[in-house]
Chains A and B, each alone.
Chain A
Amino acid sequence: GAVVSQHPSWVICKSGTSVKIECRSLDFQATTMFWYRQFPKQSLMLMATSNEGSKATYEQGVEKDKFLINHASLTLSTLTVTSAHPEDSSFYICSATTASGAGETQYFGPGTRLLVL
């Protein structure tokens, strides 16, 4: 079946640095990719919707200058957490959708755990 990968799976960084997380669809072209964050024992929160070749659409309350999203190709989207601070520590998950004969199908990446010291 279709696979979505994320890299890195774990990252620890110092406060003030920027961290880039990659989301790749490995065997299909993703028309749309979504980025979510999750705090421990809480639900996912949608951050932004990313379409290839266009600017990401951010959800209310998500700072687009803080969380830079680039969707350079149909198989790759990146999320960059700029000038990370401890409150940015979270679990970040991407998902990718592809249109198939049966409609849209969504696949989730394994997530990236970010710890900002």
Chain B
Amino acid sequence: SQQGEEDPQALSIQEGENATMNCSYKTSINNLQWYRQNSGRGLVHLILIRSNEREKHSGRLRVTLDTSKKSSSLLITASRAADTASYFCATDEIGGQFYFGTGTSLTVIP
């Protein structure tokens, strides 16, 4: 169930900078979801974007979806040290399969 790809695998930025993570997938989807995971903790849902949506915002988070390129991006603006975590995308594919990306490890340096 881990077949998506995320880019980059690791990202280190200064506090206040923006962080962009990308996710690519392979087949048609119902929706794409982004999750965050702090070390030693479970996944926490951030945003769900449906296949007919192109962009979605939630606070400092902005998610885009390009179904023609089968890719999505997660932008965290004005990053904070507390944003340090791993970020995963997951695709809910037509046909019922659910796949996770490999994750991007984000480090925000105070």
Contact = CB atoms under 8 A, between A and B. Distances in A.
B is bound to A: yes
A53 interface: no
Interface in A65-91: 91
B60 to A, nearest CB: 19
Interface stretch (A13-21, A22-30, A106-114): A106-114
Interface in A90-117: 91, 93, 95, 97, 103-104, 106-111
- SS class, residues of chain A in contact with chain B: strand
Contact of B98 (A38, A59, A103): A38
Interface residues of A, number: 24
A108 B98 CA distance: 10
A46 B43 contact: yes
B58 to A, nearest CB: 12
Nearest to B33: A43
Contact of A43 (B37, B41, B48): B48
B106 interface: no
B14 interface: no
Interface of B: 1-2, 30-31, 33, 35, 37, 39-45, 48, 86, 88, 90, 92, 98, 100, 103, 105
13 contacts: A34-B42, A41-B30, A41-B92, A43-B45, A46-B43, A46-B44, A93-B1, A93-B98, A103-B105, A104-B40, A108-B1, A110-B1, A111-B1
